[in-house]
Amino acid sequence: LDEAVGFAAERGRLVGERARPGAMAAVRGDEDTVAELVSASGGSLSVAAVNGPDQVVISGAGDAVDRALAELRSRGVAARRLPVSHAFHSPLLEPVLDPLGDAAKALAVKSATVPMLSTVTGDWGPDLAPAYWQAHAVQPVRFGAAVVRLVEEGYDTFVELGPGNTLAGAVRAVARLT
């Protein structure tokens, strides 16, 4: 536990010191609609997460996110900026990848006693080597797809740990569709 907390703190420190500031926004739209907008941004936006069939998060430079929000609203698509300081799960975190990998090398990774499904790779029991944590920082989180897989494999109880219930709603929406 001490190592995990220390790693999380180091990740936060690295992001605060080395990553360019950015923004994120939650969009009530399907991934195809959002991907079209991201593609038109010329690389200034990326899909950060797909939490459900109509719950997508975009990430990028603050001005690009603001332009995307204005465009989405003009189309009648509900979207809101998230209260974050950086563009997590985007290329804006690339400056932290090498030091994040170095920090992950210090972790004593043990075999899991509880099965873990990666929301980035979609694999059970992902290799938690430094490359995994580096990929996790910049690649989209496919939370909705992970929930679909879990439901299809018979899981029916989900618990959200954190300050809110953001993902609990996504679990309910995705589980109804499977």
**Which residues pair with residue 49 across a beta bridge?**
57, 141
The greatest distance separating any two alpha carbons of the chain, rounded to the nearest whole angstrom, comes to 50
Whole-model pTM? 0.90
Could you tell me where the beta strands, DSSP code E, fall in the chain?
A: 23-27, 45-52, 55-60, 79-81
Phi-psi region of 154 (alpha: psi -120 to 50; beta: other; left: phi over 0): left
- Residue 178's pLDDT is 62
Q: In sequence order, what are the residues at sequence separation of 6 or more whose Cβ sits closer than 8 angstroms to the Cβ of residue 28? A: 54, 55, 77, 78, 79
Q: In sequence order, what are the residues at sequence separation of 6 or more whose Cβ sits closer than 8 angstroms to the Cβ of residue 22? A: 59, 60, 61, 62, 65, 86, 87, 90, 92
Nearest to 55 by CA among 159, 113, 131, 142: 142
- Residue 174's pLDDT is 84
Phi-psi region of 47 (alpha: psi -120 to 50; beta: other; left: phi over 0): beta
How far is residue 90's CA from residue 104's CA, in Å, rounded to a whole number? 19
- Residue 147's pLDDT is 93
* 10-residue mean pLDDT series, the chain (178 residues): 91 91 94 92 94 94 96 95 94 96 90 86 86 93 93 90 80 79
How far is residue 76's CA from residue 21's CA, in Å, rounded to a whole number? 28
Helix, strand, coil percent content, the chain, rounded in steps of 5: 50, 15, 35
Residues 73, 105 contacting (CB under 8 angstroms):
no
